[in-house]
A and B are shown apart, each in its own frame.
Chain A
Amino acid sequence: MARSAQPVSSLPGVAAALLVAALILGTLAAVALRAEAGHGFSSSDWAALKFTLTQAVLSAVISVGLAVPVARALARRRFKGRSLLIALLGAPFILPVIVAILGLLQVFGRSGWISEVLVYFGASPIRIYGLHGVVLAHVFFNLPLATRLILQGWQEVPSERFRLAAQLGCHGWSLFRLIELPMLKRILPGALVVIFAICLTSFAVALTLGGGPRATTIELAIYQAFTYDFDLGRAALLSALQLALTAAAAFAALKLSRGEGFGAGLDRAIQRWDGGTPILDSFWIILAAVFLLLPLSAVALSGVAGLFSLPFLVIKSALISVGVASASTIILLLLALPMAAAIAVRRHSPVELAGILGLAASPLVIGTGLFIIIRPWANPTDLALPVTALVNAAMALPFALRILVPAAKDTVSRHGRLALSLDMEGWVFFTRVFIPRMRPQIGFAAGLAAALSMGDLGVIALFADPEIATLPLQIYRLMGAYKMEAAAGGALLLLVLSMSLFWLLDRGGRWHAEA
Chain B
Amino acid sequence: MLKLESCIIANGAFQLHANVSMEAGSSVAVIGPSGAGKSTLLEAIAGFRQISKGHVSWMGQDLTELAPGKRPIAMLFQDGNLFPHLTAEQNAALGLRPSGKLSKTEQAQVSAALERVGLAGMGTRKPAELSGGQQSRVALARVLVQHRDLLLLDEPSPHLAQP
Chain A window 447-473, contacts with chain B (Cβ cutoff 8 Å), 1 for yes, 0 for no: 000000000000000000000000000
**Interfacial chain A residues near B50, Cβ < 8 Å:** 2-3
**Interfacial chain B residues near A420, Cβ < 8 Å:** 47-48, 67-69
**Interfacial chain B residues near A1, Cβ < 8 Å:** 65, 67
Task: Verify if A432 is at the interface (C-beta below 8 Å from B).
Answer: yes
Report the minimum CB–CB distance from B114 to chain A (whole Å): 17
Check if B98 sits within 8 Å of A417, measured CB to CB. Answer: no
**Interfacial chain B residues near A179, Cβ < 8 Å:** none
Check if A514 sits within 8 Å of B128, measured CB to CB. Answer: yes
**Interfacial chain B residues near A5, Cβ < 8 Å:** 47-48, 67-68
Q: State whether A421 and B80 are in contact (beta carbons under 8 Å apart), knowing that A2-B50, A428-B99 are contacts in the complex.
A: no
Task: Verify if B73 is at the interface (C-beta below 8 Å from A).
Answer: yes
Check if B77 sits within 8 Å of A418, measured CB to CB. Answer: yes
Q: State whether A424 and B80 are in contact (beta carbons under 8 Å apart), knowing that A2-B51, A436-B85, A437-B85 are contacts in the complex.
A: no
A424 and B68 CA atoms in complex are apart in Å by 10
CB-CB contacts below 8 Å: B63-103 with A: 64-70, 73-75, 77, 80-86, 94-95, 98-100
Task: Verify if B17 is at the interface (C-beta below 8 Å from A).
Answer: no
Q: State whether A423 and B47 are in contact (beta carbons under 8 Å apart), knowing that A2-B64, A2-B68 are contacts in the complex.
A: no
Task: Verify if B38 is at the interface (C-beta below 8 Å from A).
Answer: no
CB-CB contacts below 8 Å: B32-59 with A: 46-51
How many A-B Cβ pairs are below 8 Å? 80
**Interfacial chain A residues near B94, Cβ < 8 Å:** 422, 424
Task: Give how many B residues have a beta carbon under 8 Å from the other chain's beta carbons.
Answer: 33
Task: Verify if A433 is at the interface (C-beta below 8 Å from B).
Answer: yes
CB-nearest residue of chain A relative to B71? A421
CB-nearest residue of chain B relative to A420? B68
Report the minimum CB–CB distance from A447 to chain B (whole Å): 20
Main SS of the interface on chain B? loop
CB-nearest residue of chain A relative to B50? A3
Check if B83 sits within 8 Å of A423, measured CB to CB. Answer: no
* Contact-size category for A: 20 to 34
Chain B CB count within 10 A is highest, among A2, A415, A437, A515, for A2
Task: Verify if A348 is at the interface (C-beta below 8 Å from B).
Answer: no
Report the minimum CB–CB distance from A420 to chain B (whole Å): 4
CB-CB contacts below 8 Å: A409-434 with B: 414-415, 417-418, 420-425, 428, 432-433
Report the minimum CB–CB distance from A510 to chain B (whole Å): 13
CB-nearest residue of chain B relative to A413? B80
* B98 CB contact (under 8 Å) in A414, A425, A436, A514: A425
**Interfacial chain B residues near A424, Cβ < 8 Å:** 69, 94, 98
A471 and B132 CA atoms in complex are apart in Å by 53
A5 and B70 CA atoms in complex are apart in Å by 11
CB-nearest residue of chain A relative to B142? A422
Check if A428 sits within 8 Å of B98, measured CB to CB. Answer: yes
Check if A425 sits within 8 Å of B69, measured CB to CB. Answer: yes
Chain A CB count within 10 A is highest, among B65, B66, B80, for B80
**Interfacial chain A residues near B128, Cβ < 8 Å:** 514-515
With A2-B48, A2-B50, A423-B98 known, 13 other A-B pairs at CB within 8 A are A5-B48, A415-B80, A417-B77, A420-B47, A420-B67, A423-B67, A423-B68, A423-B69, A425-B67, A425-B69, A432-B86, A437-B84, A513-B85
9 A-B contact pairs sorted by A residue (CB < 8 Å): A1-B67, A2-B51, A2-B65, A5-B48, A414-B80, A417-B68, A420-B48, A421-B69, A432-B86
**Top-7 shortest CB links A-B:** A423-B69, A424-B98, A420-B68, A436-B85, A2-B47, A3-B50, A514-B84
